[in-house]
């Protein structure tokens, strides 16, 4: 991992092999912190070179004077120059500039996450739509330990909003680890409101005087959820506002590559030291099982051909009220119909329920060792055997 001040130079094509040159340029900027203006540094990156973007831009908080607690002690709020813009028009121009730069370096199926507060997120979202990004979700980060509203004139601001968007409308094949997220959430779909504490304790970087190094350091748990949701090991994650380096540290731990851009050399140096100390997790802790969409297609007749289901065996619904017999050709015949009804597991399942459609793999069950199991269990077994045979 290295820190460079001018960005990574492009390599000229060798022997007219543009593909080789593009791949070499992409590898050259991986796992680096580029110091400088984010819009200028984005222009130095190869086009279509990143798989995911996490952006934590200035919020343009527009603070008016000092913020103090009821005991008159001063709150260490965000009053740095990098968060100050002379007008909303100036902020919008800056936002449009970095969003255009980010869009150029995103792969066609890449996605972007932008985090913000009520001060800026609506302006950012509108500009994203103007530039053709396609919003997939807005995710609310609910803070378990938010800073109270000291003046008592507003609700406690207890959340921030993340926009998750694809590069273009209608894109297919973007990364979303649905099954893995659901499996880690007690087999329940993960919601769009996430509860995490703000960054405190040992995770908070401090300067030599014991003060927090960066005022808006995000918790690693939040970044881990983002990357585990929308990237995979080996992907390149870009952060155009690296700050204290949380995104890069998490990316390294989760075996992703990173590209960070930061204009403050002090922040960049602290981020580099932080990243250097990170140990990647073992591969087995990160390897995702193939999703149902990626798994090889298996027809019900393949279960019959393999002997996992024998012709003549009876299938039932989960409660045993509906019955069907497996035929030698891989179709099934309903037993308790007045007329002979023969067809696929899906069509017969729908017919038995009087429904328009049915997932026959989960509707039909087979009895083994005194218990009913969905025939999808047998399909999973066959898929596993197919995987072993193909190795």
Query: Residue 345, class by beta-carbon neighbours within 10 Å (0-12 exposed, 13-18 middle, 19+ buried)?
Result: buried
pLDDT score at 4: 65
Interval 201-213 mean pLDDT: 82
Would you state the pLDDT for residue 295?
A: 66
Q: Are strands 365-368 and 314-316 parallel, antiparallel or unpaired?
A: antiparallel
pLDDT score recorded for residue 131 = 98
pLDDT digits (tens, 9 = 90+) for 60-78: 875 444 444 444 444 444 4
Considering the chain, what percentage of its residues have pLDDT values greater than 70?
A: 84
pLDDT computed for residue 17 by the predictor: 54
pLDDT at 62: 59
pLDDT (average), residues 190-207: 90
pLDDT tens figures, 286-337: 877 666 666 678 899 999 999 999 999 999 999 999 999 999 999 999 987 6
> DSSP secondary structure string, 312-373?
T-EEE-TTS-SEEEE-TTS-EEESS-SS--EE-HHHHHHHHHT-S---HHHH-EEEETTEEE
* Mean pLDDT, residues 149-178: 91
Amino acid 15: pLDDT: 39
* pLDDT value of residue 210: 80
Instruction: List beta partners, residue 368.
Output: 371
Give the list of residues 6+ apart from residue 46 with CB closer than 8 angstroms, or none.
10, 22, 25, 26, 29, 105
CA pair distance 238, 256, nearest whole angstrom: 10
Residue 18: band (very low, low, confident or very high) from pLDDT cuts 50, 70, 90: low
**In the block, residue with structure tokens 């390294």:** 252
Two tokens, residue 205: 């970087």
Distance CA 271, CA 3 (A): 10
State the Cα–Cα distance between residues 95 and 98, nearest whole angstrom: 5
Residue 68 CB contacts under 8 Å (≥ 6 apart), including other chains: 74, 75, 150
Q: What proportion of the chain, given as a percentage, has pLDDT over 90?
A: 64
Residue 380 pLDDT: 87
Kindly indicate the confidence band of residue 29, based on its pLDDT and cuts at 50, 70 and 90. confident
pTM over 0.75: no
Q: Tell me the C-alpha distance between 26 and 11, whole Å.
A: 10
Most trustworthy range by pLDDT among 22-26, 57-61, 93-97: 93-97
- Flag the least confident range among 10-24, 107-121, 329-343, 352-366: 10-24
CB 220 within 8 A of CB 246: yes
Q: What does each C-alpha distance from 171 to 108, 115, 129, 167, 192 come to in angstroms?
A: 8, 22, 15, 8, 21
The confidence band for 23, taking pLDDT boundaries of 50, 70 and 90, is low
Residue 212 main-chain phi, psi, to 5 deg: -60, 135
The DSSP element (H or E) to which 93 belongs, if any, is helix 88-105
| pLDDT at 34 exceeding the cut of 90 | yes
CB distance 167 to 110 below 8 Å: yes
pLDDT tens digits, 94-104:
999 999 999 99
CA 124 to chain centre: 19
Confidence band for 130, pLDDT divided at 50, 70 and 90:
very high
CA pair distance 21, 27, nearest whole angstrom: 10
| Mean pLDDT across 330-357 | 90
How high is the mean pLDDT of the chain? 86
């Amino acid at each position: 991992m290295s820190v460079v001040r001018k960005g990574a130079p492009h390599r000229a094509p060798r022997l007219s092999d543009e593909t080789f040159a593009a791949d070499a340029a992409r590898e050259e900027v991986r796992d680096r912190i580029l110091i400088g203006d984010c819009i200028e540094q984005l222009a130095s990156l190869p086009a279509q070179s990143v798989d995911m973007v996490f952006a934590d831009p200035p919020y343009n908080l527009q603070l008016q004077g000092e913020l103090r607690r009821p005991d008159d002690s001063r709150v260490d709020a965000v009053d740095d120059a990098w968060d100050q813009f002379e007008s909303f028009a100036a902020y919008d121009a800056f936002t449009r500039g970095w969003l255009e730069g980010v869009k150029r370096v995103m792969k066609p199926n890449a996605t972007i996450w932008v985090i913000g507060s009520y001060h800026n997120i609506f302006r950012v979202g509108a500009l994203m739509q103007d530039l053709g990004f396609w919003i997939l979700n807005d995710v609310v980060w609910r803070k378990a330990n938010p800073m109270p509203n000291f003046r008592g004139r507003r609700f406690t601001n207890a959340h921030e909003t993340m926009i998750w968007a694809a590069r273009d409308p209608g894109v297919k094949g973007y990364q979303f680890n649905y099954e893995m997220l659901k499996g880690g959430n007690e087999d329940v779909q993960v919601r769009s409101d996430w509860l995490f504490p703000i960054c405190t304790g040992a995770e908070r970087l401090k300067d030599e005087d014991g003060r927090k190094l960066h005022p808006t350091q995000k918790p690693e748990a939040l970044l881990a959820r983002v990357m585990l949701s929308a990237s995979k090991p080996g992907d390149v994650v870009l952060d155009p506002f690296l700050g204290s380096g949380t995104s890069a540290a998490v990316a390294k731990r989760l075996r992703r590559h990173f590209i960070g851009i930061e204009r403050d050399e002090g922040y960049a140096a602290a981020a580099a030291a932080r990243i250097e100390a990170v140990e990647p997790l073992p591969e087995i802790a990160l390897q995702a099982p193939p999703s149902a969409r990626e798994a090889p297609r298996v027809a019900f007749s393949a279960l019959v051909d393999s002997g996992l289901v024998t012709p003549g065996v009876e299938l039932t619904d989960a409660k045993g009220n509906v019955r069907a017999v497996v035929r030698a050709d891989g179709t099934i015949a309903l037993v308790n119909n007045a007329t002979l009804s023969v067809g696929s597991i899906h069509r017969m399942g729908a017919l038995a329920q009087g429904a328009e459609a049915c997932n026959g793999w989960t509707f039909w069950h087979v009895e083994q060792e005194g218990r009913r199991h969905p025939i999808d269990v047998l399909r999973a077994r066959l898929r596993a055997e197919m995987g072993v045979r193909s190795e």
